[in-house]
Amino acid sequence: MNNNFEDPYSVAVKQLKRVIDYLGLDEYVFDMLKTPERVIQVKVPVKMDNGKTAVFIGWRSQHNSALGPYKGGVRYHPNVTMNEVMALSMWMTWKTALLGLPYGGGKGGIKVDPRKLSHRELQELSRNYFAALSKFVGIDLDIPAPDVYTDSQVMAWFIDEYYKVTGYNIYGVVTSKPTLLGGMYTRIISTGLGVAITAREAAKRLIGGIRDLKVAIQGFGNVGSYAAKFLSEWGAKIIAVSDSKGGVYSEKGLDVEKLFQVKRDKGSVIYYGDAKRISNEELLTLDTDILIPAALENVITERNAPQIKAKVIAEGANGPTTPKADEILHERGIYVIPDILANAGGVTMSWIEWANNRMGNWLTEEEARRKLEEKMISAFNEHYSYWSRKKDIDPRTAAQALAVEKVVEAMKLRGWI
């Protein structure tokens, strides 16, 4: 358990309140936006391999639909709570609005350790969860995607279960599927690519370019590893990376391809040779130009924010910075690319995949990647311009203010307020 843990829904509500006050919006607008439109709780029985039946609890939070269908991932984790799912669905609302996508925010989760399940048990869990949600999801209603400990195989089971329950064989009911079932390869790399793109664009604005800049990345899963890959290809120097077992650091830079190989072969980056072992906590305060927290929530706190030396922080994880830490970083002049922008490559590519499914799968991977990059750059520029004009608020508040303005305007147009 993270000793610095703060309830994510409490964090999300605090962030929203700050934005509502800053924009001078009425209290009832805050009341409407802090509460999801719908939270569905389901019980998910699974007949285990030992013959006994275990019952798991799952949720789907549908936060706001003013701009379109709910959109967001489904995570399987032993620490999932309803509050966490609610917070993540709220952040998805701001994320999709900020990126200009025709979506609202949603998020799902099951309280389970999937690593302790067999393949058959995992499939039954996934199918039963989606069957229980089948009335509340759909290509024009709510479009789930993978998240923590879920993947394209789980999405394939979701598609098939949806077909069994509803009779509709629709690939676009979920995104980040296997390519054979309407998915796109670019979705696999999209979140890490989006983090890298926003870090590159921030470096252009604030430091003079990405080449030869030092980058430290906490978390070498899908997001962190692909962020490292693309930043390295663009000329940045990856000086430190870490995963759940610890990290490695080298002032002269790490070989990203070797990191991929070590992680794949030995299960952790700590087995990378010719580098100093460091902890996840030490990585955050290294002398680096760009810091990418791409692992857990609440890792940058009021305790370590004063020691952070990076000029730019690109949040690959969801909610890695606490509200108090945000204030400290802003006072110190450190530019934080907030998670709802930095890690929005995944949902942006999901939108491209979803639109492609509706068109009959016409797009090529090259076209999809080009569209993704255009969308991320456009969103970054809009955010940076908005924040630059105001400067009296931190970049996260600016991003959420911009997003909230769009959602509130949509709610007004619909006659909700």
Tens of pLDDT, residues 249-295: 999 999 999 999 999 999 999 999 889 999 999 999 999 999 999 99
Helix and strand numbers, DSSP H then E, in the chain = 14, 12
Q: How do beta strands 38-47 and 53-64 pair?
A: antiparallel
C-alpha of 95 from chain center:
9
The larger pLDDT score, comparing residue 357 to residue 298, is at: 357
Mean pLDDT of all residues belonging to the chain: 95
Burial-class residue 37 by CB neighbours within 10 Å (0-12, 13-18, 19+).
Answer: middle
136 class by beta-carbon count within 10 Å (0-12 exposed, 13-18 middle, 19+ buried): middle
Following DSSP, what letter does each residue of 399-410 receive, concatenated? HHHHHHHHHHHH
Give the tens place of pLDDT for each residue, 367-385: 999 999 999 999 999 999 9
How many residues make up the chain in this entry? 417
pLDDT digits (tens, 9 = 90+) for 9-56: 998 898 899 899 999 999 999 999 999 999 999 999 999 999 999 999
pLDDT at 305: 96
Terminal-residue alpha carbon distance, the chain = 41
Neighbours of 265 (CB within 10 A): 8
Q: Give the residue-averaged pLDDT of 395-400.
A: 91
**Residue 107 falls in the annotated catalytic set:** yes
| Opening angle at CA 213, ends 271 and 369, nearest 5 | 85
Residue 323's closest CA among 2, 1, 75, 9?
9
Paired tokens of 317: 């994880």
Per-residue model confidence (pLDDT) at position 4:
53
Q: Going from the N-terminus, what domains does the chain have, and what CATH number goes with each?
A: 8-16+24-174 (3.40.50.10860), 188-343 (3.40.50.720)
For residues 97 and 91, give the distance between their C-alpha atoms in angstroms, rounded to a whole number. Answer: 10
Please check the confidence at residue 339 and state whether its pLDDT lies above 70: yes
Identity of the amino acid at 49: D
Q: What is the dihedral of CA 224, 296, 13, 308, to 10 degrees?
A: -80
Token digits of residue 7? 């309830």
39: closest CA among 54, 55, 19, 57?
Answer: 57
Model confidence pLDDT, tens digit, residues 151-174: 999 999 999 999 999 999 999 999
Decide if 111 contacts 80 (C-beta within 8 A). Answer: yes
Question: pLDDT band for position 296 (50/70/90)?
Answer: confident
The pLDDT of residue 1 is: 41
Which residue out of 71, 107, 111, 263 is catalytically annotated? 107
Sequence-ordered alpha helix ranges (H) in 24-151: 27-34, 82-98, 119-133
